[in-house]
């Protein structure tokens, strides 16, 4: 199990390094000037914040690797619902299982994230992730070790409830990493249709998650806004609730408090 932990930790870390590093290079170095208009916050993350994010992401990669090795062990003992013969359930089931994985993980993440925002848990563990109101793509795995372990429990939750093919699991983990990086990118790369279309509008974007980091409230979900909509915790779903929660009377003040430029009262700028 030690060898598997080392191997899987390395895979998790290299995957994180490729996506976070690749998107950091693209937005913060290569397209720095030409993509200025896509930048969400007025300032860029400081070097010390990025250092902090990478340090904790290395720790999280080791813990995620450990969880993966444990699941591997349970699979070898025949205790999971992982199946190797792709034709057993077919292609459409594979797609359906991927969707089920995203929904299960999103639900688990939303509720554990709400828990971690209770003052005691926040101070103890979740503050590590909220080290700055303006995170960088390197923050994708920046968790306190206890939070990393808690968050990694989505893995047993999935492989004990959803018959999963390793290729689908691999695709899901890849998607999880890419979207974790995109959510913390600090640049809005999704086309405008993502913000206008009623269906696409429920997919979490960098703008959506940047609001969570600015206010330390709202927008708790990971992939879809469904739980935030249902529980009235989505920033853009009800401005009146948002204003009341942070104690300001106008949307303009609300935006200003979050570090965004004041906007007209009817603005939809943060709609995500
Ligand atoms: Zn975050
Ligand atoms: Zn949070």
CA of 1 to the centre of ligand 2 (A): 32
Q: Do residues 3 and 72 make contact, with C-beta atoms less than 8 angstroms apart?
A: no
* 97 and 11 within one domain: yes
* DSSP states along 164-189: B-HHHHHHHHHHHHHHHHHHTSSB--
Report how many domains make up the chain. 2
List beta partners, residue 164.
Answer: 82
* 185 and 205 within one domain: no
* 255 and 200 within one domain: yes
pLDDT at 264: 35
pLDDT at 235: 83
Residue 228 lies in domain: 192-272
Answer with the one of 154, 189, 224 that is the final residue of a domain. 189
CA of 167 to the centre of ligand 2 (A): 30
* 125 and 33 within one domain: yes
Q: Whose atoms come closest to the Cα of 185: which ligand?
A: 1
Answer with the one of 139, 154, 189 that is the final residue of a domain. 189
Q: Whose atoms come closest to the Cα of 142: which ligand?
A: 1
Residues of the chain with pLDDT under 50: 237-238, 241, 258-272
Q: Whose atoms come closest to the Cα of 216: which ligand?
A: 2
* 206 and 183 within one domain: no
* 196 and 182 within one domain: no
Answer with the one of 147, 171, 189 that is the final residue of a domain. 189
* 165 and 209 within one domain: no
* 225 and 109 within one domain: no
* 257 and 138 within one domain: no
CA of 213 to the centre of ligand 2 (A): 7
217, 79, 175, 43: which is closest to 208 by C-alpha?
A: 217
CA 39 and chain centroid, separation: 18
Radius of gyration of the chain (CA): 19
Q: Considering the chain, what percentage of its residues have pLDDT values greater than 70?
A: 86
């Amino acid at each position: 199990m030690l060898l598997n932990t080392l191997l899987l930790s390395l895979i998790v870390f290299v995957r994180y390094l490729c996506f976070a590093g690749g998107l950091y290079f693209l937005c913060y170095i290569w397209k720095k000037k030409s993509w200025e208009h896509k930048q969400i916050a007025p300032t860029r993350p400081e070097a010390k914040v990025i250092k902090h994010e990478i340090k904790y992401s290395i720790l999280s990669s080791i813990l995620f690797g450990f969880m993966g090795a444990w699941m591997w062990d349970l699979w070898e003992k025949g205790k999971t619902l992982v199946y190797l013969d792709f034709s057993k359930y077919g292609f459409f089931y594979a797609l359906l299982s991927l969707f089920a994985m995203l929904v299960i993980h999103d639900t688990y993440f939303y509720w554990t994230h709400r828990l971690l925002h209770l003052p005691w848990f926040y101070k103890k563990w979740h503050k590590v992730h909220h080290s700055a109101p303006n995170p960088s793509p390197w923050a994708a795995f920046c968790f306190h070790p206890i939070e990393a372990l808690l968050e990694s429990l989505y893995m047993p939750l999935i492989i004990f409830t959803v018959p999963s093919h390793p290729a689908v699991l691999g695709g899901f983990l890849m998607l999880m990493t890419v979207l974790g990086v995109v959510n913390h990118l600090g640049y809005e790369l999704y086309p405008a249709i993502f913000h206008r279309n009623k269906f696409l509008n429920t997919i979490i974007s960098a703008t959506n998650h940047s609001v969570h980091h600015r206010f330390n409230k709202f927008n708790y979900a990971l992939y879809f806004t469904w739980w935030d909509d249902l529980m009235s915790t989505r920033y853009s779903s009800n401005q009146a609730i948002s204003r009341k929660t942070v104690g300001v009377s106008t949307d303009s003040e609300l935006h200003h408090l979050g570090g965004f430029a004041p906007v007209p009262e009817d603005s939809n700028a943060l709609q995500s």
